[in-house]
Structure 1
Amino acid sequence: MNKEKILSIRDLSISFMTTAGEANAIRGVKLDLYKGETLAIVGESGSGKSVTVKAIMGILSGNGSVKEGTIDFTYERNGETVHQDLLKLTKKEMRRRINGKRIAMVFQDPMTSLNPTMTIGKQIMEGMRCHYKTPKKEAYEKAVSLLSLVGITEPEKRMKCYPHQLSGGMRQRVVIAIALSCDPEVLICDEPTTALDVTIQAKILELIKEIQDRTGISVIYITHDLGVVAKVADYVAVMYAGKIVEKGLAEEVFYDPRHPYTWGLLSAMPDLNTSDEALYTIPGSPYNLMGKGKGDAFADRNAFALNIDYRMEPPMFQVTDTHYAATWLLHENAPEVGMPDALKNRISRMRKEA
């Protein structure tokens, strides 16, 4: 079955000018998002996850510049299929044609996403009124139904509330309602549950999954929480130092990881059944994005690093039709190195639980 590609990122490179020099934040990222599917981008802080999606939205900060690459977005307009390179649009064109209307984003902290001086109702109606010139009565009715859809009780009453009158979980639901108000094709969730407690987190994740099943929307999740990924993702991309180091179907990356960095991330997940006294941590410090050093960015932190890792950057090696990893350990001449036994045991437990 041929899947319909909605977003295609190719060779994306982004750098930022800082007082210390040029930081190469994104280095040749290549990613695809398919219609109705969920892509999760995972990695530690500073790996380039948020910068990648900010480039999709056209909201990079002033000191950031796209060095090369394309972001091809495919959508329907007046019955015709349009292919648009988002990097060729101006910020004004992005705001008018894409942001909120076709690609919407849910940010980490709902309080900073909402206007404290406007009622919830007005904020949900604003996008519909602006993009589609929806009549006020129709926009009001849709806003009420959206509040109901995201699980807010007494939606008509909440329409008159201000953000400070709602709890954190309710505010995040409102942000999701605003994101969905113009029926976008793509929803980007940048760590949407970070500021919420664990029980609310689970409810928000379930809510987004339900909405996706109902509307067929494509979702990109940005997270460093692999537990979240296991619940929601169809496809996973693991980022380190501005590059994709492993990508594949969620079950491939979870149950058959091939990159030592992915091994580290999975080993560092809290586990109730482990006999280890201390939580595993990946040794060393994150890669310096100012550096233009040779070799693999992960080499200094990699217990399984080969001599070639310090001299040449690894290409993407194919594991299956859908699974790829950028590690020299997959080269035909590399020594046989398997994942650590502790992680093997953990993965077999994860399989049983699943």
Structure 2
Amino acid sequence: MTESKKMEEKILSIRDLSISFQTALGRVDAIRGVEMDLYRGETLAIVGESGSGKSVTMKAVMGILSSNGVINSGSIDFSYYDNHEKIDVDILKLTKKHMRSHINGKHIAMIFQDPMTSLNPTMNIGAQIMEGMIWHKRANKKEAYQRALELLELVGITDAKKRMKNYPHQLSGGMRQRVVIAIALACNPDLLICDEPTTALDVTIQAKILELIKDIQKKMNISVIYITHDLGVVAKVADYVAVMYAGKIVEKGTVDEVFYDPKHPYTWGLLSAMPDLDTFDDVLYTIPGSPPNLSHKVEGDAFADRNIYALNIDHRLEPPMFKITDTHYAATWLLHEKAPKVEMPQALRDRIDRMLKEASDDGK
């Protein structure tokens, strides 16, 4: 850990988290030894294909795993303030009732990808924003109403008084997502988890929502975790990136390290699969094969069968996290001192060089 990190305040620390699900087809080991840290005011993006374990990890943080989920090992240490007193808890040791009453909505809030599944169609917008404040903060209706108006203005909704009386179906998709953000912020949470928050929106609205969350984060000094498969989103919002594959983090580092100097072949594949207007290829790159079936025991590196750079050892032994810098780590045998020298594909190198040039030009 760097000296600057030691001076900052860690609010979330996940260690050796392993989660399985009992299904009709048997036990599925969905999360296999996840470790990550988050500091106050930081933005962490968790990226990976569907089924990589991103959402399950964050549902464990929220204490909302489905009933067939089993925590096999690990801890989720969370630090927050209540009446100016710092409180440290291991979320995995709390009851669901305690999570609902003291943590969810109040200290950890979540924004889901489809606002219509988060909003109650039978309640007007104002009542839904006020509800959390009345329940968690013991605010009276007048205080909650005033704060709800302020929140609607904060998330960029004009004519807030009129909108307070509207029902979800009377708003556009972009406005509904802004309302969901207002509800999430109602109790001044320490941590905001955004699960694909812009997937259901068109591109212009996406950019506005991402900018909005970024602005609010700065004003309120809250920590944000994005769950996404869209690396374009990551580049715009994240400080740090964790790349997940088959229930494990396979690469993590600063956004610049993971974007401009990726070391894991899976990260190379994800970056190569990003749409690029400057490429001359007619066909968009896709990572060959499919993720492994986690109801079967994974031998060696879970990515080995899809990895054209796989070594013999990949099929036998799981790679450890190799340290690249103080902040950059990757779990690939290619980083072992005795491994053959393998560089990222030239097409990706060219793309990254273009991205670096564009970033440099934008900074002028």
Q: Distance in 1 between matches of 2:67 and 2:87?
A: 29
Shift of residue 296 of structure 1? 0.3
Shift of residue 105 of structure 1? 0.2
Task: Tell whether 2:265 aligns with 1:282.
Answer: no
Q: Identify which of 319, 342, 347 aligns with 1:337.
A: 342
Q: Distance in 1 between matches of 2:187 and 2:212?
A: 18
How much is the aligned-residue C-alpha RMSD, in angstroms? 0.6
Letter in 2 for 1:340: P
**Counterpart position of 1:234:** 239
Task: Tell whether 2:168 aligns with 1:163.
Answer: yes
TM-score (norm 1): 0.99
Shift of residue 65 of structure 1? 1.0
1:314-341 per-position Cα deviation (integer Å, ceiling 9, x unaligned): 0000000000000000000000000000
Task: Tell whether 2:56 aligns with 1:51.
Answer: yes
Letter in 2 for 1:313: E
1:51-70 mapped onto 2 (5 Å cutoff): 51-70=56-75
Q: Distance in 2 between matches of 1:76 and 1:281?
A: 45
Q: Distance in 2 between matches of 1:203 and 1:287?
A: 36
Q: Distance in 2 between matches of 1:170 and 1:81?
A: 35
Q: Distance in 2 between matches of 1:284 and 1:344?
A: 23
Q: Distance in 1 between matches of 2:267 and 2:338?
A: 22
**Counterpart position of 1:125:** 130
Structure 1 segments, 4+ long, off by >3 Å, are none
Task: Tell whether 2:226 aligns with 1:213.
Answer: no
**Counterpart position of 1:295:** 300
Q: Identify which of 257, 267, 276 aligns with 1:271.
A: 276
1:218-254 per-position Cα deviation (integer Å, ceiling 9, x unaligned): 0000000000000000000000000000000000000
**Counterpart position of 2:362:** none
Letter in 2 for 1:331: H
Task: Tell whether 2:330 aligns with 1:314.
Answer: no
1:1-354 mapped onto 2 (5 Å cutoff): 1=4, 2-354=7-359
Q: Distance in 1 between matches of 2:269 and 2:66?
A: 31
Partner of 1:203, secondary structure, is helix
Letter in 1 for 2:308: A
Shift of residue 294 of structure 1? 1.4
Letter in 2 for 1:238: V
Number of aligned residue pairs: give it. 354
Q: Distance in 1 between matches of 2:238 and 2:117?
A: 26
Q: Distance in 2 between matches of 1:133 and 1:81?
A: 20
1:278-321 per-position Cα deviation (integer Å, ceiling 9, x unaligned): 10000011111111131000000000000000000000000000
Q: Distance in 1 between matches of 2:285 and 2:84?
A: 53
Structure 2: state its 5+ residue gaps.
360-364
Partner of 1:222, secondary structure, is strand
1:149-174 per-position Cα deviation (integer Å, ceiling 9, x unaligned): 00001001000000000000000000
Q: Distance in 1 between matches of 2:167 and 2:313?
A: 58
Shift of residue 143 of structure 1? 0.1
1:180-218 per-position Cα deviation (integer Å, ceiling 9, x unaligned): 000000000000001111111011000000001111010
Shift of residue 269 of structure 1? 0.2
Shift of residue 76 of structure 1? 2.0
Q: Distance in 2 between matches of 1:78 and 1:267?
A: 48
Q: Distance in 1 between matches of 2:165 and 2:298?
A: 56
Q: Distance in 1 between matches of 2:313 and 2:238?
A: 33
Partner of 1:272, secondary structure, is coil
Shift of residue 79 of structure 1? 3.4
1:102-133 per-position Cα deviation (integer Å, ceiling 9, x unaligned): 00000010001000000000000000000111
